[in-house]
Amino acid sequence: MASHLEEKLQHDIDRIRDKVREMADLALRGLEDSVRALTTGDTKLAYTAILRDSRVDDLESMVDAMCVEFIVRHIPVATHLRFVHSVAKIVSVLERVGDYAESINRQAILLSHGEKGFDYSDFEQLAGVAVEMTRQAVRSFLDSDLTLARRTIELDAKANRIHQKIYKRLEAEIPVGSDDLSRLFSLLSVSNRYERVADQAVNICEEVFYMLTGEVVKHRSKGDASILFVSSGSSCLAQIAEAVASTLGGSQFAFASATTGPGSPDPAVVDFMARRGINVAGQIPMTVDAVGSLENYRVVVAVDREAARALASRTFGFRTVVLEWDIDDPSRGLGVEETQAKAYAALFDELLERTTVLIQSLHGTVSALGTSK
């Protein structure tokens, strides 16, 4: 038989869950209204949804206060402490979802005065995925369902594909005048917001994992956290950059390398990298054409000028960052072994510095790099 303290603890947990459920219902309603307002031009519905968002903000403050009270009253440990910690994160996410819904409704009002008969089917599809992900994410929290949380995270790739499709469609349009440009900006903003809702649903699921298992999955390597280095076919610069970055970044990111054409590792490079504690022997460079689509890479780095020229005609994802490092291949024109070794050492130091900055900007930390020679 449960003690009075256990009953009080469960009562307070249920109260918090109920408020999270209410907050989620309001945020979801705002999203659903935004879809209808967007596709039908119903400005009254949009204004009503905008006014309702203040209740979402009030509930966030209320749940935050309840979490503080819960900690003071029960001094929770282990599972209950993780519960209250995750709730604080989840209500912050839901408040942000409410803000996204409000923003979309405001854009729907602006778009209602523009072009009639616009095809919003892709937007409806993206919104449908985002709403379903949010609903499932909240349900995974309320039901403590890890399997549902995992399935919800897997849906994020679908949302990204639809968002990319919308972006390409809007990118192909040529605006005529400032009004047309404003319309395209509003449409892109709407697509961005729905895609961000899907991302926030993933954040909720990650908090569910932490709450139930104590496992932090937020910073695991994901498909959209992959980095590709590209260099000319006659150099090994991309391979060196990949090897250095992999050593620095560990398992936090997925690194890859490619060349603009066929080639093989320079034996001098293999030997030099081995002395630095990095093994690139036996690697066969993949060409950038064999890589296929570059749209899912988070970062694509053109290590040298030839790679930059080759990538100029390629299509990248909306969120892909393309960098040009313009590094010279030290093996060209160097016949003296000692001079070549010094050039490779300078190259290594430059790549080490650049990849360190890159990884720090993406993650904030780097692992220790081996210094064996």
- Could you tell me if 329 and 344 are in contact, meaning their C-beta atoms sit under 8 angstroms apart? no
User: What is the dihedral angle through the alpha carbons of 229, 232, 236, 237, rounded to the nearest 10 degrees?
Assistant: -50
Angstrom distances, CA of residue 300 to CA of 1, 294, 369: 60, 8, 22
How confident is the model over 7-47, as pLDDT tens digits?
A: 899 999 999 999 999 999 999 999 999 999 999 999 999 99
Cβ neighbours around 80 below 10 Å, total: 17
Helices marked H in 172-291: 177-213, 237-249, 267-275, 288-291
Using DSSP bridges, classify how beta strands 321-324 and 226-231 pair: parallel, antiparallel or unpaired.
unpaired
Scanning the structure block, which residue is given the tokens 């219902």?
25
- Could you tell me if 135 and 205 are in contact, meaning their C-beta atoms sit under 8 angstroms apart? no
* Mean of the per-residue pLDDT values of the chain: 83
Min mean pLDDT across 82-91, 106-115, 252-261, 273-282 is at 273-282
Task: Give the model's pLDDT for residue 244.
Answer: 80
Cβ neighbours around 119 below 10 Å, total: 9
Q: How confident is the model at residue 372 (pLDDT cuts 50, 70, 90)?
A: very low
Scanning the structure block, which residue is given the tokens 């509003």?
186
Q: Which fold has domain 4-213?
A: Methane Monooxygenase Hydroxylase; Chain G, domain 1 (1.20.58)
Q: How confident is the model at residue 265 (pLDDT cuts 50, 70, 90)?
A: low
Domain range summary for the chain, segments of one domain joined by + = 4-213, 223-362
Q: How confident is the model at residue 180 (pLDDT cuts 50, 70, 90)?
A: confident
Task: Give the model's pLDDT for residue 337.
Answer: 57
Cβ neighbours around 229 below 10 Å, total: 29
Q: Find residue 259's DSSP bridge partners.
A: 231, 287
Task: Give the model's pLDDT for residue 365.
Answer: 47
Q: Which of 130, 98, 125 is nearest to 197 (CA)?
A: 130
Task: Give the model's pLDDT for residue 76.
Answer: 86
Task: Give the model's pLDDT for residue 331.
Answer: 60
Distance between start and end Cα atoms, the chain: 67
Scanning the structure block, which residue is given the tokens 């990319």?
164
Q: How confident is the model at residue 225 (pLDDT cuts 50, 70, 90)?
A: low
Q: For residue 240, give both structure tokens.
A: 């060196």
The CA distance from 12 to 97, in Å, is 25
DSSP letter at 294?
B
- Could you tell me if 91 and 20 are in contact, meaning their C-beta atoms sit under 8 angstroms apart? yes
Q: Is the pLDDT of residue 92 over 80?
A: yes
3-state secondary structure of 336: coil
Q: What is the CATH number of domain 223-362?
A: 3.40.50.2300
Give the predicted TM-score (pTM) of the model. 0.63
